[in-house]
């Protein structure tokens, strides 16, 4: 079985407003939930985690936990395929996913150099549940995402990474 990452209720709705520095070229700050952030909790950040319990069947071969910095630029199937390419080395599987998502962020940023890039954090944990994982797992394809969905996702990535208020106003 598969549990998809959570989806926004309405993917066309833009992110909430961010806090911007008037006199600098800095990314906007979006306030979101933060696990265990007692300091930010004092100023209104809700630090209580959302939890989901899932019973894992004996047929499950792989668990991937990843942040939105991965799933904003990669589909579920891309992540699974990369993990299976490195099924003998979970650390390499994680590295491959990070490398691929980093490249995708760089493409979305349309920047000429790493120094001018602004991208989300990329965190991934890859857990292979048994030693006899066969190549057949790679062929267990997930339903294809529509190109419209992918385009909206990449558009949201660009919206999330605007560097300053002037750039936001130009669009």
pLDDT at 128 over 80: yes
What's the 3-state SS for the chain?
CCCCCCCCCCCCCCCCCCECCCCCCCCCECCCCCCCCHHHHCCCCCCCCCCCCCCCCCCCCEEEEECHHHHCCCCHHHHHHHHHHCCCCHHHHHHHHHHHHHHHHHHHHCCCCHHHCCCCCCCEEEEECCCCCCHHHHHCCCCCCCHHHHHHHHHHHHHHCCCCHHHHHHC
pTM of the predicted model, to two decimals?
0.57
List, for residues 45-85, the tens digit of each pLDDT value. Answer: 666 667 788 888 888 899 999 988 899 889 999 999 999 99
């Amino acid at each position: 079985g598969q549990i998809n990452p959570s989806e926004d209720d309405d993917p066309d709705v833009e992110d909430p407003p961010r806090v911007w520095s008037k006199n600098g070229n800095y990314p906007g700050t979006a306030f979101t939930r933060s696990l265990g952030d007692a300091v930010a909790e004092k100023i209104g950040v809700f630090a209580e985690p959302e939890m989901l319990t899932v019973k894992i069947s004996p047929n499950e071969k792989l668990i991937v936990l990843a942040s939105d910095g991965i799933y904003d630029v990669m589909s579920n199937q891309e992540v699974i395929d990369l993990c299976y390419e490195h099924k003998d080395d979970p650390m390499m599987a994680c590295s491959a996913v990070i490398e691929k998502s980093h490249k995708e962020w760089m493409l979305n940023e349309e920047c000429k150099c790493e120094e001018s890039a602004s991208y989300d954090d990329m965190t991934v944990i890859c857990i292979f549940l048994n030693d006899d994982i066969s190549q057949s797992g790679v062929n267990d394809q997930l339903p294809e995402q529509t190109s419209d969905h992918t385009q909206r996702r990449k558009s949201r990535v660009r919206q999330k990474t605007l560097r300053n208020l002037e750039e936001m106003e130009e669009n």
